[in-house]
Amino acid sequence: MKVGFRLGRVGEAALLCLVGYFSYSMRPTVWRGLKIYREMKLRLGNLHLSSFHRAIRRLRKAGLVTGSKESLRITAIGQKAVVAKGLGFSPLAVPTPREWDGRWRIVAFDVPERAKFRREVLRRVLADLGFVRVQHSVWAHPADCRKTVADVVAKIGADREVAFVVADSIDGGPNLLRRFKLG
């Protein structure tokens, strides 16, 4: 799809924030505009509220989002624009291996409260990818998934807040094996 609309830095950030909430499945959900504005301000630095409102107006006029400043929803056209511009996530999955190599892939993160948006997106994406929550910010999977996780972490800008660990054992391992139908 060719997108003839120039999004601009703020418009791209707004769409990326909306898509981040939709995770890999791009579930259509309504989100509060000011929540997205706060996340964009973290991403872009010096962002004025008027620039945010102007970008949302332009996105709405182009048919990429619907709703008001207070509740936004990305449209089907907006989803296509995100894919065409390479801004969003591709529908990916981490398959459970048939033959397990005996090593757990663990994602641990410590995202500060001021960046709660990234934490929520990361949890949602990990769940969508088939990871199992071991603790609030520790998730495990038996398959080699470092590249997929690294792509997600880079897209949401949480590089310094996430650690990827490969381990031979983990507390609750037998329960995890049953959850993944490996044991």
Express each pLDDT in 95-116 by its tens digit: 777 788 999 999 999 988 877 7
75 and 108 in a common domain: no
**Average pLDDT, integer, range 85-93:** 58
| Confidence at residue 22, expressed as pLDDT on a 0 to 100 scale | 46
Counted domains in the chain: 2
State whether 146 and 111 are in the same domain: yes
Domain finish residue from 84, 114, 129: 84
CA distances from 51 to 30, 57, 158 (A): 21, 10, 24
45 CB neighbour count, 10 Å cutoff: 7
CATH classification at residue 41: 1.10.10.10
Residue 40 Cα distances to 45, 51, 57, 103, 159, angstroms:
8, 11, 16, 37, 17
Instruction: Report d(CA 155, CA 32) in Å as an integer.
Output: 21
Do 14 and 66 fall within a single domain?
yes
- Tell me the per-residue pLDDT of 11-65, one tens digit each, with 9 for 90 and over: 777 776 666 554 433 444 445 566 677 766 666 677 777 887 788 888 888 888 8
* Residue with more model confidence, 161 or 95: 161
* Domain stops at, among 24, 50, 84: 84
Q: Is residue 96 part of a domain?
A: no
Residues 122, 56 share a domain: no
Residue ending a domain, choose from 32, 52, 84:
84
**Residues spanned by the domain of 48:** 8-84
Q: Specify the pLDDT at position 24.
A: 39
DSSP label at 182?
-
pLDDT at 141: 93
